[in-house]
Amino acid sequence: MGTVDILLANLFSPIILAFVLGIFASLIRSDLRFPDELYTALSIYLLLAIGLKGGAELSETPFLTFLGPMLATLALGSLTPITSYFVLRRIGALDRINAAAIAAHYGSVSVVTFIAAQAFIDLAGVTGEGFLPALVALLEIPAIIVGLMIAQIGSREAGSWKKALHEVLAGRSIVLLLGGLAIGLVVGKSGLEPVEPFFVNGFQGALTLFLLEMGLVTARRLRDLRKVGLFLVGFGIVMPILHGILGVWVGGLAGLSLGGSAVFGTIVASASYIAAPAAVRIALPEANPTFYLTASLGITFPFNITLGIPLYFTVAQWLA
């Protein structure tokens, strides 16, 4: 597929069109709303399904095959919040607390962006490693720890980073991803067959509904763009591109396939809007939510799922 074909295939996929529909519905002030219970149920379903499938694949993966990508994930999960913090402080001139709060988001990972990347490579006819969900779970934690530690250095005003760390480790995302991985690892592919019609065959439909809801949420954040300034808008686009290209390159060096490198680059380029906000809210209560939520959810998330994923896939093709 050419670059234009790749871009069009992504933009006109059901999950992206559902996301656009959600934005459109919010902008015209439609009464379309998702019940909180449905949103929670969909997120639980998607996270557990990812974990189960990843664990089943990991059960058949030699440890040495997984070792390189695992180390690369831990390294980039520690590096990307530092690079983000440096840019936010030196170029953006943000104060230490807000820069650290945003950096924690940009070192962490968006699970929905990962799912969209998986759907994209499937659409492109390329496969990725089955253990990629395990890398998502690993990437979530180091960046938040590093971001919070940066804020804690020399500060007596920041909140409890230990309590924030517990919030991350005991949060829904990590518990479901790691729990699903553990279950899938124990039962293997054969043990997963009885629940496969529900957790595998119904996955794309649930994802489409979830992206419709994310469109509604994102549109509400778009209204805050005037408050965050041009620098943060540029940061929310340029920094993911740089991190994404780095992730694709490092993923290839770690032994990932073309599809695996593209997805790995995508998750490195993504920004958390679930686990990181929960941790930052506790550890850095004085950080401005308008900055980190609008940047991650209002700028980076829509950029990545529409234009970013095809870009990282194209870079992976070039490097391959």
Q: Tens of pLDDT along the chain (320 residues)?
A: 566 677 777 778 888 899 899 989 988 999 998 888 888 888 889 888 888 988 888 888 888 899 999 999 999 999 999 999 999 999 999 998 899 999 999 988 888 899 899 989 988 889 899 889 889 888 877 888 888 888 777 555 545 667 766 766 777 777 888 888 899 999 998 999 999 899 988 888 888 898 898 888 888 887 777 778 899 999 999 999 999 999 999 999 999 999 999 999 999 999 988 778 877 877 788 888 889 988 998 899 999 999 999 999 999 999 98
**Structural domain count, the chain:** 1
Distance (Å, rounded) from C-alpha 203 to C-alpha 81?
A: 31
For residues 263-289, b (16+ Cβ closer than 10 Å) or e, as one string?
bbbbbbbbbbbbbbbbbbbbbbeebbe
d(CA 186, CA 206): 25
Query: Scanning the structure block, which residue is given the tokens 């936010």?
Result: 88
Q: What are 160's two structure tokens? A: 């409890």
Q: In the chain, which residue ranges form alpha helices assigned H by DSSP?
A: 3-11, 14-27, 36-58, 63-90, 96-107, 111-123, 132-152, 161-169, 172-192, 196-199, 203-222, 225-253, 258-269, 275-283, 289-293, 301-303, 309-319
Give the closest residue to 215 by CA, choosing from 136, 108, 289, 306.
306
What CATH number is given to the structural domain containing 266?
A: 1.20.1530.20
Contact 311, 241 (CB under 8 A): yes
Is residue 284 within 8 Å of residue 151, measured between CB atoms? yes
pLDDT, residue 218, reads 83
Q: 314 and 3 in contact (C-beta within 8 Å)?
A: yes
270 to 8, 127, 273: CA distances (angstroms) = 21, 20, 10
CA-CA distance, 76 to 311, in Å (whole number)? 19
Q: Which domain holds residue 126?
A: 3-319
Q: Please, are residues 308 and 240 in contact by the beta-carbon 8 Å criterion?
A: yes
How far apart CA 10 and CA 124 sit, in angstroms, is: 9
Contact present, 242 and 86 (Cβ < 8 Å): no
pLDDT of residue 160: 61
